[in-house]
Each structure stands twice: as structure tokens, then as C-alpha cells.
Structure 1
Amino acid sequence: MRGPARISARLVTGLLCLMLAACAPTPTPQTAPYRTANAPIWSNAQFDPGRIVGQWRQSAAFGPVGGCSAGGADIGGDASALTISARLCLSGQDVQLSGPMPGTGPGRFRVDGQEWWVIWVDTDYRTLAIGTPSGAFGFILNRGGALPPDRFRAAREIFDFNGYDTRFLQAF
């Protein structure tokens, strides 16, 4: 083909491709769970619960972009009887929490009926990566200012190691 017929054939082919693409189903955003079912998950066995008392800022969470804004948590009490007062973005929803935070194992707590596992904490207890065995949510808490890129990267790698799909980890 030459001239206008050649251009016309390309135009028709291009239009057909666009029409087919328009018919394809729209991908739905990821919702919980954010981790692979039955993937191994570990909590931090060396975790010292007394060192998390204080104020925390939420730096990242699994969920849809723009689902909610960063929250924060105030953890009180002592190692044997922790309490929490928080507003967190969990799986794209604002969640208010207040009450006891009893330990259920090394690096493990029950908060508002959910199991929270500390899957990573940096050596100075400035950053916590918290996940759930169910994969319903996961988030990063930080204190002392903005979360540095190296600690965000470390937490992200730990979430990945514990079966989370880190494509859905949104930094605030």
C-alpha cells in the first residue's frame, strides 16, 4: 500500500487497538489483605515493650492512595501494662483506638481485638514496622521527625520479607 491507503490502514489499526483497550476491565485497587495468605510472618523476638512508650507519628501504611491522612499514636504505661490512644490510617480508613495494649508474645500485642506484630524496630527504637498475621493492614510509626529514607527502605524490606505486597505501602 502507498500514500493515503497506507495511512488509512494504520489509522484503522490504531483505532481498533484503542477500542479494544477501552473494553478491557479496569483494574481494581488492592484491598486487604496486603500479604500473601499462609506466608511466614515473624515478630521481633528481641523487642523491649518498655522502649515504645511515648508519642509516635504514622509515616506509612498499606492501603489506597489518598484513603486517609497520616495519624499518630501515644503509647503509655510501662512494659507490663501498655496502653494506646491513637488515630491511624489503617487499610485506607481513619481508625480511632484507645485502651489497653496487652502483650501476647514477643513483639506481639492485641489492640482493639486485632493482633499487632512488631516485625521490625530500629536499634534506637525510633521506627516501628507493625503488621498483622491476617495482612489486614500494616503501617510504620516513627518518632523524632520525618522518617529517613534508609529506615523507610529497611521497613519496606521487612514487610516484603514477611509476605506483604509493598507496592501498596504508601508513605505520608
Structure 2
Amino acid sequence: MSPFRPATILSALALALLAACANVQGFRDTSVPISSVASLDVARYAGRWYEIARFPVPFQEGCVATTADYTPRPDGTLGVLNTCREGVVNGPVRQIAGEAIVVGPGRLEVRFDSVPFVNAPYWVLWVDADYRTAVVGTPSGRAGWILNRDPEIPPDRLEAARRILEFNGYDLSQLRTTPQP
């Protein structure tokens, strides 16, 4: 019998993931103030979002055709299901589930089931009036995303999203487009 138990292996993997995330170089100048939206309608934010662009982070390495699904729960939290394809838009599916808790105006903390004891900040920096495009970031600047309700984003909303990231201190030269089907 192996001396390693499944719980021990999972704990070791979770610690390795946390260590990798801790070593991620920030993509924003943290001396620039960052601000979330003053009012976020969680019910309107719920649903499917397509990742249009992101800053490269280890936990999304190799991901394309990335989506995030948010589902309102009776307790006021949101169920979160992030899905991507590995390598190509018809590659193997990778998913991670968790929950998001509202902690302030436009500010959520996200926790994933397979990563215990970690609540990651998830700030909605901007969402257009019709909740078609959103920009999400983190105070540390270690992650950031442009999300859209459709796999393709109109140029004017993409430009607006890029300006929001730049206004919040993000280095746009490191922003990467996410291939979508």
C-alpha cells in the first residue's frame, strides 16, 4: 500500500497551486488606485461570459475557448463554473467549480472547491450599461480579464474595456487575446 493518501496528494497539489499563484508577477502598477463599480446588479451579472482577453496566469496556461458561468444561489452567493479547452477550441475540456461571495460594491471573493482555504479577490472594474461586456481585475494586479456575453466583442466595447484596464494601472502590452470558437 502506498504511503500517500488521496487527501495528502490533493493537499500537496493545492499548496503547489497556491505557491505558483503567489509567484505570479503583477500586471498592474499597484501605486495606481484601482476601483470597482459602485453598483453591481448580481442578478444581471449572472449567466455565461466568454473570456475575450486575459493576463497570463499559471492556472489558465494552455486554456482557450474559456467561459465563466455565474449562477445566483438562494443564500446570495453565486455559483461559479469556469470552463476552458486545452490547447485548441475543440480540445479536452477543463473545469473548476466554486462560489463567489459579494464583499462590497462590485467586489467579490471567489473560492474554488478544489483549492481549500483561499478566497481570491475578484473586482468588477467596469460593466457596460446592458451587461454585455465586463472588465475584472484584482487589487494585486496578478490577474485581469475582459469578458463578453458573446464570443466576439465589438471594437468599441473592446477599446472601452482596454481603457478601463489601463486606467486601473494595468500594462496592456501583457494582455493576451483568448481564442474562442
In 2, are the aligned partners of 1:34 and 1:137 still within 8 Å (CA)? yes
Aligned residue in 1 for 2:81: 85
* CA shift digits 1:35-60 (9 cap, x unpaired): 01232000000221111111111111
Q: Which deviates the most, 140-149 or 73-82?
A: 73-82
In 2, are the aligned partners of 1:53 and 1:78 still within 8 Å (CA)? no
Take 2:37 and 2:94, find their aligned partners in 1: how far apart are those partners? 25
In 2, are the aligned partners of 1:32 and 1:137 still within 8 Å (CA)? no
Gaps of 5+ in 2: 1-23, 86-92, 112-118
Report the secondary structure of 2:63's partner residue: coil
Aligned residue in 2 for 1:41: 34
In 1, are the aligned partners of 2:28 and 2:170 still within 8 Å (CA)? yes
Take 1:145 and 1:137, find their aligned partners in 2: how far apart are those partners? 20
Summarize the Cα distance change of 1:60–1:159 in structure 2 as closer, same or farther, 3 Å threshold: same
Summarize the Cα distance change of 1:51–1:122 in structure 2 as closer, same or farther, 3 Å threshold: same
The letter for the 2-side match of 1:76 is T
Take 1:60 and 1:88, find their aligned partners in 2: how far apart are those partners? 13
Q: CA RMSD in A?
A: 2.4
Take 1:167 and 1:111, find their aligned partners in 2: how far apart are those partners? 27
Report the secondary structure of 1:102's partner residue: strand
Take 2:43 and 2:169, find their aligned partners in 1: how far apart are those partners? 28
Aligned residue in 2 for 1:76: 71
Gaps of 5+ in 1: 1-30
Identity of aligned residues (%): 42
The letter for the 1-side match of 2:96 is L
Summarize the Cα distance change of 1:95–1:41 in structure 2 as closer, same or farther, 3 Å threshold: farther
Structure-to-structure mapping, 1:1-172, within 5 angstroms: 32-63=25-56, 67-78=62-73, 80-87=76-83, 96-112=95-111, 113-172=119-178
TM-score (norm 2): 0.68
TM-score (norm 1): 0.72
Q: Which deviates the most, 113-122 or 136-145?
A: 136-145
* CA shift digits 1:123-168 (9 cap, x unpaired): 1001110000011110111113411111110010000000100111
Take 1:75 and 1:107, find their aligned partners in 2: how far apart are those partners? 15
Summarize the Cα distance change of 1:105–1:146 in structure 2 as closer, same or farther, 3 Å threshold: same
TM superposition outliers: structure 1 runs of 4+ over 4 Å:
none
Structure 1 residue 88 displacement after superposition = 5.8
How many residue pairs align between the two structures? 137
